[in-house]
Amino acid sequence: MAGSALRRLMAEYKQLTLNPPEGIIAGPINEENFFEWEALITGPEGTCFEGGVFPAKLIFPCDYPLSPPKMQFTCEMFHPNIYSDGRVCISILHAPGDDPMGYESSAERWSPVQSVEKILLSVVSMLAEPNDESGANVDAAKMWRENREEFNKIADRIVRKTLGIYIRE
């Protein structure tokens, strides 16, 4: 089982290396374990996360691609769809069987046709357009709705933190 998963991950890694989407880099943290990847995601332009480079960890199950990987940001994040421990809550990462929130149609959930690239792209679009209805982080969702300015400030602080820039002008 792990054999086919390994081959597929290798193929995806190759594809992501040869044709990387802009601002996205992903690959195994360590060649010894192909089932744990690190991804760097650049915050989409024109949004409050613009310019930041957010590291995230992807952990693949051994029956990948039948089951989705788990994704967790390893930097501090403040976003309606990201739990405070960094776990990402988007429908593409949910297996068709389980439905933690209880309201997603299976059409937008995981299928083996999806790939790391597609996951990362939808995370980018999630960063750009939070879905404040699935409240993985209720505080963030509330602030996003009610106090956008404050939200942007926090986002900017996080962006600077990921870049290692701490100067306040």
Partner 1 sequence: MPIIVLERLPLPNLKTYTGASVLALSACIYYATHIVKDPDWNKPKSDLDVSPSNNEDFINNNTNHSSPDDRTFSQFTGDTFSVMTKEPICVWIMINMAYCWLILIGRCVQKFVFGQLRVSEQQHLEEKFWNFVFYKFIFVFGVINVQYLEEVLLWCSWFSLLGFLHLLSQLGKDRFEYLSFSPTTPAWSHVKLLGLLGCIFVFSLFMFLISIFVGFFQGLNTFAFMSAEVILLGIRTLHVIVRYALHLYDICRDTNGSLSRDTATALEKRGPVIYYIELGFELNALIIDFVHHMHMLLWSNIFLSMASLVICMQLRYLFHEMQRRWKKHRNYLWVLNHMEQNYPMASAEEIAANSDNCAICWEKMETARKLPCSHLFHTMCLQSWLEQDKSCPTCRLALNIESPSDNRPESPEIQHNAPQPARRPLNHFFHFDGSRYVSWLPSFSVEVSQLPRLSRAPNSQLDAMARQVQQLFPHYLLPTIIEDLRVTRSVELTIENILDGRLNSQTLRESETISTTSSNVPLSILQSNVEQPDTSSSQNWDDINEENVENEDGIAVGSRFSKSPSEREQILHKRKEKLIQTARKRYVDKQRTPIST
Which residues are known to be catalytic?
89
Handedness of CA 88, 145, 138, 84 (dihedral sign): positive
Phi, psi of 103 (to 5 degrees): -150, 20
Shortest reach from residue 96's CB to partner 1, in Å? 4
Total interface residues for partner 1 by CB under 8 A: 67
Give the sign of the dihedral formed by CA 22, CA 28, CA 34, CA 37: negative
Tokens of 168: 């306040």
Mark 114-133 with x for binding to partner 1 (rule: CB under 8 A) and - for no binding: -------xx-xx--xx-x-x
Residue 87's beta-bridge partner residues? Answer: 72
Site string for partner 1, 44-73 (x = CB under 8 A): x------xxx--------xx-xx-------
Q: For residues 75 and 87, is the Cβ–Cβ distance under 8 A? A: no
104 interacts with partner 1 by CB under 8 A = yes
Q: Contact with partner 1 (CB under 8 A): which of 88, 93, 143, 159?
A: 159
Strand, helix or coil at 57? strand
Which of 84, 138, 153, 163 binds partner 1 (CB under 8 A)? It is 163
The CA distances from residue 25 to 72, 89, 104, 124, in Å, are: 15, 20, 29, 12
Residues forming contacts to partner 1 in the complex (CB under 8 A) are 2-4, 6-8, 10-14, 17-23, 25, 27, 30-35, 38, 40, 42, 44, 51-53, 62-63, 65-66, 95-97, 99, 101-108, 111-113, 121-122, 124-125, 128-129, 131, 133-134, 159-160, 163-165, 169
